[in-house]
Chain A
Amino acid sequence: MKKELKTVVVIPAYNEEKVIGSVIDNLKKEGFKEIIVIDDGSVDNTFHVAKEKKVFAYSHIINRGLGGALNTGISAALMHDADIIVTCDADGQHDPNDIKKAISMLIKEDLDVVIGSRLINSKGMPLSRKVINSGASWITYFLFGVYSSDTQSGLRVFKKTAAEKIEIKTNRMEVSSEIIKEIGRNKFKFKEIPIKAIYTEYSLAKGQKGSNAFKILYKLILRKILR
């Protein structure tokens, strides 16, 4: 008999009280039972909104950035005995159906990691963002030898064994590229799946600014030199 795989969705959230509730509702509607929200030291009600939705919520006492929150979230999911770990942005830009597709791709093709790429089908993405993202792809490839069309994507699916091996050291936004690096280092079987990005005014305002790209680039190069 095939044991059902336990899927845990991890949502790192920082000041997302307005949307986190509906993001959780949408995930639940699509049948995701275990959801872990990592409140990354929000100053608003993110933590309580998540708690009210009856999901697991853990709170950072101070803000540590996306990398820190993801790291905590993945560890929490492993402690919850997850077989498959999904990371998902809290701003509502991911479609739960895309998550399902990514999970079934992971299982069917026996992969270690699947990343949802907003760029394979990049309709609706603002041009400035397209340029920054593709620049990031090539730099990441150049530095770490793994090509991903969307290095900054927040939708990722990990197999348990892969999640256990991933080491996240960066605290902030560079984490997305660091995960790509870890894919290369561990020689994970990895594929991308095209996903829709729901760009709302809200998610655009919350997302990364273009100027962040340079900060990320600097940190990545620093990291590369130090190894």
Chain B
Amino acid sequence: MIIQWLVLILVVVMYFKLLADLKKDKISLKKFLFWIFVWFALSVIVFFPQAIIALAGLVGIQRPQDLPIYVSIIILFILMFKIGLKIERIEQEITKIVKIVALKEIKKK
């Protein structure tokens, strides 16, 4: 099937790009491994669609097409949580700045 070959080319190109990025220190090792895994998973799905069905059955999902939806919801939740944490940290940083500005006068004395 032509789609399989297209995806294969895309994956190979992405692998080279990732490797180049890693060598130039553009991405961290963690991110590198993460994306390697994502592209690898994509190629597995394209070449062996049965794998998805098997995986869905394994986690107890009867309609395999539901699996991506469930997975995306979980990923969204994780992302939301992470963003929440990040905002919290940024708020703390802002407060620090506001405090420094407010107390500037005393330090001069």
Interface of A with B (CB < 8 Å)? 38, 41, 58-62, 64, 67-68, 71-72, 75-76, 79-80, 169, 171, 222, 226
Residues of B within 8 A of A222 (CB): 84
Given contacts A58-B105, A59-B102, 4 further A-B pairs with CB under 8 A are: A61-B101, A76-B106, A171-B92, A226-B85
B98, A61: Cβ atoms under 8 Å? yes
Residues of B within 8 A of A169 (CB): 92
Specify the chain A residue showing the minimal Cβ separation from B85.
A226
Report the interface size class on chain B.
10 to 19
A68, B99: Cβ atoms under 8 Å? yes
A171, B103: Cβ atoms under 8 Å? no
Residues of A within 8 A of B61 (CB): none
B91, A60: Cβ atoms under 8 Å? no
Interface of B with A (CB < 8 Å)? 84-85, 91-92, 94-95, 98-99, 101-103, 105-107
Specify the chain B residue showing the minimal Cβ separation from A59.
B102
Residues of A within 8 A of B102 (CB): 38, 58-61, 72, 76
Write the nearest CB–CB distance from A67 to chain B, whole angstroms. Answer: 8
Residues of B within 8 A of A64 (CB): 94-95, 98
Residues of A within 8 A of B95 (CB): 64, 67-68, 71, 171
**Which of B99, B102, B106: most chain A Cβ within 10 A?**
B102
B98, A60: Cβ atoms under 8 Å? yes
22 contacts between A and B (CB under 8 A): A58-B102, A58-B103, A58-B106, A60-B99, A60-B101, A61-B101, A62-B94, A64-B98, A67-B95, A68-B95, A68-B98, A71-B95, A71-B99, A72-B102, A72-B103, A75-B103, A76-B106, A79-B103, A79-B107, A169-B92, A171-B95, A222-B84
B98, A62: Cβ atoms under 8 Å? yes
Residues of A within 8 A of B94 (CB): 62, 64
A76, B98: Cβ atoms under 8 Å? no
Write the nearest CB–CB distance from A108 to chain B, whole angstroms. Answer: 31
Specify the chain B residue showing the minimal Cβ separation from A170.
B92
A79 and B101 in contact, given A71-B95, A171-B91, A171-B95 (Cβ under 8 angstroms): no
Write the nearest CB–CB distance from B11 to chain A, whole angstroms. Answer: 37
Specify the chain B residue showing the minimal Cβ separation from A80.
B106
Q: How far is B95's CA from A64's CA once the two chains are assembled, in angstroms?
A: 6
Residues of B within 8 A of A59 (CB): 102
Q: How far is B95's CA from A68's CA once the two chains are assembled, in angstroms?
A: 6
Q: How far is B99's CA from A222's CA once the two chains are assembled, in angstroms?
A: 24
Write the nearest CB–CB distance from A80 to chain B, whole angstroms. Answer: 7
A79, B98: Cβ atoms under 8 Å? no
B99, A79: Cβ atoms under 8 Å? no
Q: How far is B92's CA from A97's CA once the two chains are assembled, in angstroms?
A: 35
Write the nearest CB–CB distance from B95 to chain A, whole angstroms. Answer: 4
Residues of A within 8 A of B84 (CB): 222
Write the nearest CB–CB distance from A35 to chain B, whole angstroms. Answer: 15
